């Protein structure tokens, strides 16, 4: 299916560990809040990690000449491995080096060799209070520093923007956290410990209808939307409809029979009492006549 550019400023899109690009079918089926979140992720400027921006517009050299300050970010490449860990916004930086050491003209004539600098990864055990679960996640030193600054994995995941998390694993954990908070809000018999955890993180809650879509890739979101549409348009088999109709008719017939039996029993009881009253009055009259004849 041909794709269409739904981003109004395509030249301003930022590179990341993953991207959102969808077709006309996705544009028609996906909810609005999901598309807005995708657009915000693709257009937001990430926090500078590998370079320090200069806030000045001009700078003076040693002779007092004014020069424009140019803030050009370093080109960072985000490999697929970013989606399986927490890198804290770091990526792989490429540069070119000359390995030959010697005279200057020799170095200038030597071709440059590409070199890649990748962050140092260590498997860390991180605990989530909301999910009450331990995770073994490859992390960089910067990611661990950011987690320590906010005092925990839960605060780091919930407070940090998707653009700066830049990890599919991090967004999947965020979706699970938000759904767990929505479930705890509906539960009335929470334990004391769970109630404390819920009160600590309830300010990050969003509606459950939106939390279900957080962190989903375009393909996952499309499959979810198609399944929901199939459930809405799903027609039950004809045999089920006939069976339900038969059971309803049988129930109505039984109810009608029971009501007739009850009304018939009441009529029979009234007839019996009236017969007894007639017999009693007849016997009393006969007894009176017999008594008068004897006198």
- Asked if residue 193 is part of any domain, the answer here is yes
HSE-CB at 20 with a 13 A cutoff on CA atoms is 27
- Asked if residue 145 is part of any domain, the answer here is yes
Q: Is 151 left (phi over 0), alpha (psi -120 to 50) or beta?
A: left
**pTM of the model as a whole:** 0.72
Rounded average pLDDT over 75-90:
92
**Top-ranked range on mean pLDDT: pick from 94-98, 154-158, 278-282:** 154-158
Q: What are 13's two structure tokens?
A: 């899109």
- Asked if residue 119 is part of any domain, the answer here is yes
User: Is 269 or 83 the better-scoring residue by pLDDT?
Assistant: 83
Q: What is the pLDDT of residue 263?
A: 55
User: Is 16 or 158 the better-scoring residue by pLDDT?
Assistant: 158
- Asked if residue 194 is part of any domain, the answer here is yes
Give the domain range for residue 222: 10-52+64-229
User: Structurally, how many domains does the chain consist of?
Assistant: 1
Q: Please, what is the Cα angle at 287 between 284 and 293, to 5 degrees? A: 145
- Evaluate if residue 295 carries a pLDDT over 50: no
In sequence order, the 6+-apart residues with CB closer than 8 A to the CB of 88 are 49, 139, 140, 142, 143, 144, 145, 146
Terminal-residue alpha carbon distance, the chain: 119
In sequence order, the 6+-apart residues with CB closer than 8 A to the CB of 87 are 119, 121, 139, 140, 142, 143, 166, 167
HSE-CB at 28 with a 13 A cutoff on CA atoms is 7
Give residue 194's pLDDT band: very low, low, confident or very high (50, 70, 90): very high
**Top-ranked range on mean pLDDT: pick from 11-15, 185-189, 203-207:** 203-207
Give residue 137's pLDDT band: very low, low, confident or very high (50, 70, 90): very high
- Asked if residue 234 is part of any domain, the answer here is no
Q: CA distances (Å), 215 to each of 55, 59, 92, 98, 228, in order?
A: 33, 42, 23, 42, 18
Q: Which residue has the tokens 């077709």?
A: 23
- Asked if residue 24 is part of any domain, the answer here is yes
pLDDT, tens only, 42-62: 888 889 998 888 888 888 888
- Asked if residue 237 is part of any domain, the answer here is no
- Asked if residue 293 is part of any domain, the answer here is no
- Evaluate if residue 132 carries a pLDDT over 90: yes
Q: What are 36's two structure tokens?
A: 């807005």
């Amino acid at each position: 299916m041909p794709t269409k550019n739904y981003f109004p400023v395509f030249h301003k899109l930022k590179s990341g560990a993953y991207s959102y690009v969808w077709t006309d079918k996705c544009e028609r089926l996906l909810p609005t809040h999901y598309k807005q979140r995708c657009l915000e992720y693709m257009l937001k400027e990430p926090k500078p990690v590998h370079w320090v921006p200069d806030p000045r517009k001009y700078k003076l050299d040693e002779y007092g000449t004014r020069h424009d300050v140019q803030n050009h970010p370093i080109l960072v490449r985000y490999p697929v491995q970013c989606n399986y860990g927490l890198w804290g916004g770091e990526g792989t930086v490429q540069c070119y080096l000359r390995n030959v050491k010697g005279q200057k003209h020799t170095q200038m004539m030597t071709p440059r060799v590409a070199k890649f600098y990748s962050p140092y990864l260590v498997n860390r055990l991180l605990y989530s209070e909301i999910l009450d679960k331990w995770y073994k996640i490859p992390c960089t030193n910067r990611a661990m520093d950011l987690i320590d600054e906010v005092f925990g994995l839960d605060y780091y995941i919930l407070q940090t923007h998707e653009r700066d998390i830049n990890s599919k694993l991090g967004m999947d954990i965020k979706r699970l956290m938000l759904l767990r908070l929505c479930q705890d809000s509906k539960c009335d018999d929470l334990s004391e410990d769970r109630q404390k955890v819920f009160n600590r993180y309830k300010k990050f809650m969003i509606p459950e209808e939106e939390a279900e879509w957080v962190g989903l890739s375009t393909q996952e979101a499309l499959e979810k939307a198609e399944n929901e549409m199939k459930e809405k348009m799903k027609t039950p088999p004809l045999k089920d409809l006939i069976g339900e109709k038969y059971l309803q008719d049988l129930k109505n017939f039984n109810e009608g029979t029971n009501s007739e039996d009850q009304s018939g029993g009441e009529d029979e009881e009234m007839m019996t009492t009236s017969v007894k009253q007639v017999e009693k009055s007849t016997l009393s009259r006969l007894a009176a006549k017999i008594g008068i004849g004897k006198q």
